């Protein structure tokens, strides 16, 4: 009797996973389950998630009559490896509703095995944007700087901070009253976030937004800096200087955008991706690179009054976006035609002659020799 009880105890094997498996939404994931090897005909496998039947296998074949509708056509065992003790399940095209704890039950002539597999699902945030304030319309503070993202799961963490030009972190200067964050969901239940920050001053500061998806170790940083105002005159060549330092330029894209009125839409003046400028670039000179530095200065030739406005340099990679805004103010030079110049010279001679005659006459009238 004791021997029978002992035999049952050593063959009942329950294994709880430490941690959890992470699956990416719309991708496939493998839920692991291992047991002792046996003949295929003698193996029974049941995958369940709560009360739902996910996948069943016995009599050497899949048994899917009682499979929950949500899993139909989305599950698969590695049939050629089952006899060696691999009962892992491939779950394809996962979504939010697949999150939860899965249970693998396997039975062989040598014993019973049970394994619990927690599954967490996530999606990287995309459409990560930092929208700078319209500096053509800003006369008084505050101005609004927007940070947004969509298509992510689970919930995010978002942090605003400011950094002075001397590198000192000023994140504590931002209070909850300075920002307004709205959260919504798309049709798939993924998160959409937008945060608007009221900025009180633009000089000598860089504003930063950080969005994180901790489950997938995704971190994105956006930053914006007001470079200042540059004056120029019509007909000149103007350079908006900017040097960008970066050790990895493999996925870097650089775009200069321009708008000349408060309500006008931004237009792309030039774009650089993978160190190749677009053919229709309107820059005077193509951006150049040196070791670890990109000269992304914008050159404007023979400027006109229509070139006055807001210029923003946008430097993007997979994990960051940096924006630098410049305001260009232009004025016209007075142009005097040659014939007008000659007429003015004659006028000046006549006026000077009249003044000389008047001076001599006045002197003759009032001068009385002693």
Q: What is the pLDDT of residues 161-194, one digit of tens each?
A: 988 876 666 655 677 678 899 999 999 999 999 9
CB atoms within 10 A of CB 289: 15
Question: Using the 8-state DSSP alphabet, how is residue 186 labeled?
Answer: -
pLDDT digits (tens, 9 = 90+) for 311-320: 999 999 889 9
**Cβ atoms of 223 and 208 closer than 8 Å:** yes
Query: What b-and-e string marks burial along 334-343, b requiring 16 or more CB atoms within 10 Å of the CB?
Result: eeeeeeeeee
34 vs 332: CA distance, rounded Å: 80
Angle of CA points 313, 319, 321, to nearest 5°:
15
Model confidence at 2, pLDDT cuts 50, 70, 90, reads very low
pLDDT tier, 3 (very low <50, low <70, confident <90, very high otherwise): very low
> In what order do the strands lie in the sheet containing 309-317?
157-164, 205-213, 218-233, 320-331, 309-317, 253-259, 267-273, 276-277
The whole-model pTM stands at 0.77
3-state secondary structure (DSSP) of residue 36: coil
Give the right CATH number for 21-122 from 2.60.40.10, 3.40.250.10, 3.30.450.40, 2.40.50.140: 2.60.40.10
Are 74 and 62 in contact by the 8 Å Cβ rule? The answer is no
More confident residue, 272 or 301: 301
d(CA 189, CA 259): 36
Average pLDDT, whole number, for the chain? 83
Of the given ranges (84-93, 124-133, 332-341, 351-360), which has the lowest mean pLDDT?
A: 332-341
Q: Which CATH number fits domain 126-331: 3.40.718.10, 3.90.870.30, 1.10.3720.10, 2.60.40.10?
A: 2.60.40.10
Half-sphere CA count of 318, side-chain side, radius 13 A? 6
Give the distance, in angstroms, between the CA of residue 295 and the centroid of all CA atoms in the same chain. 22
Ranges of CATH 2.60.40.10 domains, the chain: 21-122, 126-331
pLDDT band at 254 (very low <50, low <70, confident <90, very high): confident
């Amino acid at each position: 009797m004791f021997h029978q009880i002992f035999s049952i105890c050593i063959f009942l094997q329950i294994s709880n996973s430490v941690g959890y498996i992470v699956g990416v939404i719309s991708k496939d994931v493998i839920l692991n389950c291992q047991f002792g090897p046996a003949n295929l005909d003698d193996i029974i496998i049941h995958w369940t998630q709560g009360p739902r039947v996910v996948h069943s296998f016995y009599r050497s074949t899949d048994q899917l009559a009682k499979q929950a509708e949500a899993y139909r056509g989305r599950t698969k065992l590695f049939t050629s490896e089952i006899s060696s003790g691999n009962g892992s399940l491939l779950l394809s095209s996962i979504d939010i509703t697949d999150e939860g704890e899965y249970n693998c039950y396997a039975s062989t002539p040598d014993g019973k095995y049970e394994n619990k597999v927690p599954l967490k699902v996530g999606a990287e945030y995309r459409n990560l944007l930092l929208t700078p304030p319209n500096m053509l319309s800003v006369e008084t503070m505050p101005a609004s700087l927007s940070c947004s993202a969509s298509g992510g799961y689970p919930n995010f963490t978002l942090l605003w901070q400011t950094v002075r030009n001397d590198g000192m972190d000023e994140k504590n200067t931002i209070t909850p009253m300075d920002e307004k964050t709205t959260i919504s969901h798309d049709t798939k239940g993924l998160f959409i976030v937008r945060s608007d920050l009221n900025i009180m001053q633009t000089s000598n500061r860089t504003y930063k937004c950080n969005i994180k998806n901790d489950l997938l170790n995704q971190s994105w940083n956006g930053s914006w800096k007001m470079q200042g105002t540059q004056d120029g005159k019509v007909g000149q060549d103007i350079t908006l200087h900017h040097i960008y330092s970066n050790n990895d330029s493999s996925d870097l894209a650089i775009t200069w955008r321009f708008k000349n009125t408060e309500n006008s839409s931004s237009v792309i003046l030039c774009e650089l991706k993978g160190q190749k400028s677009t053919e229709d670039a309107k820059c005077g000179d193509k951006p150049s690179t040196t070791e670890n530095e990109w000269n992304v200065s914008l050159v404007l030739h023979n400027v006109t009054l229509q070139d006055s406005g807001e210029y923003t340099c946008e430097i993007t990679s997979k994990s960051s976006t940096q924006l630098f805004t410049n305001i260009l103010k232009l004025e016209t030079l007075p142009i005097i035609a040659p014939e007008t110049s000659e007429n003015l010279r004659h006028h000046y001679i006549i006026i000077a002659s009249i003044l000389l005659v008047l001076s001599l006459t006045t002197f003759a009238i009032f001068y009385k020799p002693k």
